[in-house]
Amino acid sequence: MLSERLLKALNDQVNYEFYSAYTYLAMASYAESQDLDGFANFFRVQYEEELFHAMKFYDYINQMDGRVILEKIDQPKVEYDSVLHLFEEGYKHEKEVTSRIYNLADIATDEKEHATISLLKWFIDEQVEEEQNFNTIIKKLKRIESNSAALYMLDDELATRTFTPPVANA
Ligand SMILES: [Fe+2]
Ligand SMILES: [Fe+2]
C-alpha cells in the first residue's frame, strides 16, 4: 500500500511524463515545419518513449492498488529557433525529469518503500541514457554549425531511429 504522499508524487509524475510526450511532439512538429523529417522522426520516437514511461508509472500505481488521477496537461513550448534549440531545450527538460525522479526516489527511500525504489531504479538508469542522447546530438550539431550537407546527413541518420519497448522489466 502506497502512502498518500508517495501516491500523489507518482501521480504527478504520470502527468509530467505525458507533458514530456507532448513537449516532444511539439518539437517533432517544429522539425516537420522545417522539412527535417529525420529530426521529426527522432522526436516522434521520443514522444512514444515518454508515453511508455507514463504508462509504466500508471501500471505500477494500479499494481499497488492505488488510483491514477489524470490531470490537465500543460501546453508545451511551441516556438523554437533552430534544431539545435530543440535539443538544448530537450536536454534541459531531461535534466528536470532526472531531478524529479531523484526526488521520488528520496521519498520512497524515506518511506522504506522498496518496491517503488526498485521501479525508480529503472527510471534512474533510463535518465542517464536520455540525457546522453540529447547531449550527443547537441555536440554533433555544434560541430556541424551552418554546414547544410552535414545537417542533412544527420537528418538521414535520425530517420532510422525506431521505438522498441524494453522487454520484461519491473
Ligand atoms: Fe520520461
Ligand atoms: Fe525522457
Residue indicated by cell numbers 508515453: 51
CA of 63 to the centre of ligand 2 (A): 23
Mean pLDDT of 145-170: 89
Query: Which is more confidently placed, 23 or 146?
Result: 23
| Cβ atoms within 10 Å of 87's Cβ, excluding its own | 25
Domains of the chain: total: 1
The bound ligand whose nearest atom lies closest to the alpha carbon of 130 is 2
18/104 Cα distance (integer angstroms): 17
pLDDT band at 169 (very low <50, low <70, confident <90, very high): low
Q: What is the CATH number of the domain that holds 136?
A: 1.20.1260.10
How confident is the model at residue 38, as a pLDDT? 98
The bound ligand whose nearest atom lies closest to the alpha carbon of 128 is 2
CA of 141 to the centre of ligand 1 (A): 23
CA of 81 to the centre of ligand 2 (A): 21
Tell me: the pLDDT tens digits for 98-108? 999 999 999 99
Position 56 pLDDT exceeds 60: yes
Residue 165 lies in a domain: no
The parent domain of residue 28 ranges over 4-158
136/103 Cα distance (integer angstroms): 26
Position 61 pLDDT exceeds 60: yes
Reduced to 3 DSSP states, what percent helix, strand and coil does the chain have, rounded to the nearest 5? 75, 0, 25
